[in-house]
């Protein structure tokens, strides 16, 4: 299976997870008063079709006043009758059943991801996170855990404005690009040569 087919399989798995979560939320969402009234009217109509014809033998009764519909009732009364149920929030669980596999579970749907799919997911999440706020911390957070790559493979390219593009290969993140202006290149050189 080539990379595009594998990405397609991953996208289908993610789509299935999303659809399962949305369906589960729809099952757990309470009906509105209007939906409840419509369901009740449909049930009454079905019962009237299947019930024996007793209208012919029963004495005629005075017409009763129509019951107030949810549309006629004040909005506050409708809200008082049906308290809002807490919204279902599925939990995300991540497990590592094997060395080269990770499973992600949302609600009751589980998808197994292989290393190539995990790399693609890391890339997509990283690209999305780069544009989100709040930004990543400027300093190294206390207790931060990481895996460092010793002597990574790297490539450098000079940009037309004098900046340098440095791309380094991290064992977990893959190829990570950085762009440095000329003054930062000098600062980095000084930091690396003066480090004790």
Per-residue pLDDT band at 177 (split at 50, 70, 90) = very high
**∠ Cα 41 42 47 (to 5°):** 95
Q: How far apart are CA 104 and CA 113, in angstroms?
A: 8
C-alpha dist (Å) from residue 83 to 41, 74, 78, 133: 22, 15, 9, 34
- Model pLDDT, residue 12: 62
Q: Is the entire prediction scored with pTM above 0.85?
A: no
Domain ranges of the chain: 1-43+69-126, 154-194
Dump pLDDT digits (tens) for 64-105: 444 444 444 455 555 556 666 677 788 899 999 999 999 999
Q: How far apart are CA 58 and CA 80, in angstroms?
A: 38
First-residue to last-residue Cα distance in the chain: 48
The three state secondary structure string of 72-129 is CCCHHHHHHHCCCCCCCCCCEEEEEEECCEEEEEECCEEEEECHHHHHHHHHHHHHHH
**∠ Cα 177 178 182 (to 5°):** 145
The residue that leads in pLDDT, 34 or 19, is: 19
């Amino acid at each position: 299976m080539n990379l595009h087919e594998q990405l397609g399989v991953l996208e289908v798995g993610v789509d299935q997870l999303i659809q399962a979560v949305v369906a589960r939320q729809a099952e757990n969402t309470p009906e509105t008063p209007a939906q409840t009234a419509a369901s009740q009217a449909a049930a009454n109509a079905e019962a009237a079709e299947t019930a024996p014809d007793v209208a012919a033998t029963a004495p005629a009764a005075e017409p009763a006043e129509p019951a107030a519909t949810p549309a006629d009732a004040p909005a506050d009364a409708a809200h008082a009758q049906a308290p809002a149920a807490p919204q279902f929030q599925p939990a995300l669980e991540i497990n590592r059943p094997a060395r080269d596999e990770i499973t992600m579970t949302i609600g009751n749907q589980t998808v197994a991801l292989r290393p190539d799919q995990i790399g693609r997911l890391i890339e997509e999440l990283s690209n999305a996170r780069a544009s989100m706020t709040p930004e990543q911390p400027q300093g190294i957070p206390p207790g931060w855990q990481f895996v460092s790559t010793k002597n990574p493979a790297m490539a450098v390219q000079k940009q037309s404005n004098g900046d340098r593009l440095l791309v380094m290969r991290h064992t977990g993140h893959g190829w990570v690009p950085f762009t440095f202006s000329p003054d930062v290149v000098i600062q980095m050189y000084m930091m690396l040569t003066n480090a004790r």
